[in-house]
Amino acid sequence: MIPAQRQKYNQQFTTEKYQNFLKELSQGYPEIPFRVAETPIFIPKALKEKLIAAGEEIIKLIKQPNFKTLTQKAIPVDWIVPNENEQPHFLTFDFGICKDKNGELTPMLIEMQGFPSLYGFQHHLAKTFKANFDIDTSVNYFLNGFDEEKYTKLLKEVIIGKHQPEEVALMDVDAPNQKTAIDFFVTQKLLGIKILALEDIKKIGKQLFYEEDGNQIQLKRIYNRLIFDEVANNTEIFKNSFDPREELDVEWVTHPNWFYRISKYTMPFLKSEFVPETRFLNEVKTIPGDLENYVLKPLFSFAGMGVIIDVTEADVTDIKDPENWILQRKVNYEPAVQAPDGGVKAEIRMMYLWPDGGEPQLCINLARLSRGKMIGVRYNANFDWVGGTIGFMEE
């Protein structure tokens, strides 16, 4: 998207360099199970400023005094967790890169989450790109004046808080074997916190403990990577550990309720040039005559699961719980990233950290490249110049 940067990168690219880059990226870590793209994205200043403005509009809604009231129905009744705090610690907004009516690149909101993303891995990924390819100093993967030292300090403040690293754990069902485990291990190396599977944690009274070298260590803060949707049909797993819905003497980073509050559920409340028309399906009185220009999305799903891309009237009328679905105008991605053999579509995730008692701060980003019908691994099998990457943005 910055022609000079793109041309320079593509000219220096070789398959051998890319393989060396991948080797260095996973050195000392388990094999990365998802595809890492051959290139970063070079984002011009005008597009960066639109991405920042779009994020600020969303944050303005989240900071409204009535936001919790607006989003109370977002949390499934069976998954309400007590002791919710006043803010999420993480905000991530996914924007498709499109063209506006004037032919200029513009972001359009696709997804949003009050849930952590690859905050450790993205920093590692960008550093590895820089070590293996000649990337200009006029672009930066950090935003908002952040550098490695400032970013690591804020990450520690948000995730560890006032505790000792050994009293804080990154938790998922089977953490070491998750698809994003590389991020877990990078984060552990960066912050010194534990990585625990759910079954590693035991409850005594209202307190949580894990065992290390025969000692019981109290867990005071959980860096939560467990998505309840993944375990909704298997709550038996809590019997060998603890049930997050019980009253517990532990702090959450971020509290599980925020996963639901800041999600697809929030999008119908947003009115912006950067947000496609989005309505709760139960509030759609007349089915649009141009359904081919819409997508149907279940509120409670992730990673594109359950999304209906080519919507028919029967799809709409067959849905038994329309209050749990949104109808959203399709976003037409512009193949704006030039691979050696043509244009590739891109999505940018703007990633914020929100420390206790502070303000949300835009720090870093994540990007994905796609040639398929949707962004995501399952839609991009057998393609190259696709997958996870990072944006280097013009200063």
Q: Please provide the size of the chain in residues.
A: 395
Residue 217 is which amino acid? I
Residues 193, 165 contacting (CB under 8 angstroms)? yes
pLDDT given for residue 230 in this prediction: 80
Taking Cα atoms as reference points, which of 158, 357, 164, 167 lies closest to residue 250? 167
pLDDT recorded at residue 335: 96
Look at residue 108 and tell me if it is in a domain: yes
Q: Mark residue 303 as left, alpha or beta (left: phi above 0; alpha: psi -120 to 50; beta: remaining).
A: left
Cα–Cα nearest to 27, from 238, 251, 213, 185: 185
- 350 lies in some domain: yes
pLDDT, residue 84, reads: 96
* Predicted pLDDT of residue 338: 96
Half-sphere exposure in the Cβ direction for 300 (13 Å, CA): 19
Report pLDDT for 299.
Answer: 85
Instruction: Establish if 286 belongs to a structural domain.
Output: no
370 within a domain of the structure (yes/no): yes
Is residue 231 one of the residues assigned to a domain? no
Q: What pLDDT is recorded for position 139? A: 98
| 101 within a domain of the structure (yes/no) | yes
The answer to whether residue 160 sits within a structural domain is no
Cα(292)–Cα(365) distance, rounded to whole angstroms? Answer: 31
Mean pLDDT, the chain cut into blocks of 10 residues (395 residues total): 95 97 96 95 98 97 96 92 96 97 95 96 98 96 98 98 97 91 97 96 97 96 91 86 96 96 93 95 94 90 74 94 93 95 96 97 97 66 89 97
Range of the domain at 137: 3-146+259-276+331-394
Q: Could you tell me the two tokens for 304?
A: 């594109």
- Is this prediction's pTM over 0.75? yes
Q: What is the pLDDT of residue 95?
A: 97
**323-346: pLDDT as tens digits:** 989 999 999 999 999 999 999 999
- Residue ranges of alpha helices (H) inside 267-390 are 313-318
Domain count of the fold of the chain: 1
* 106 located within any domain: yes
pLDDT at 192: 97
Eight-class DSSP state of 152: H
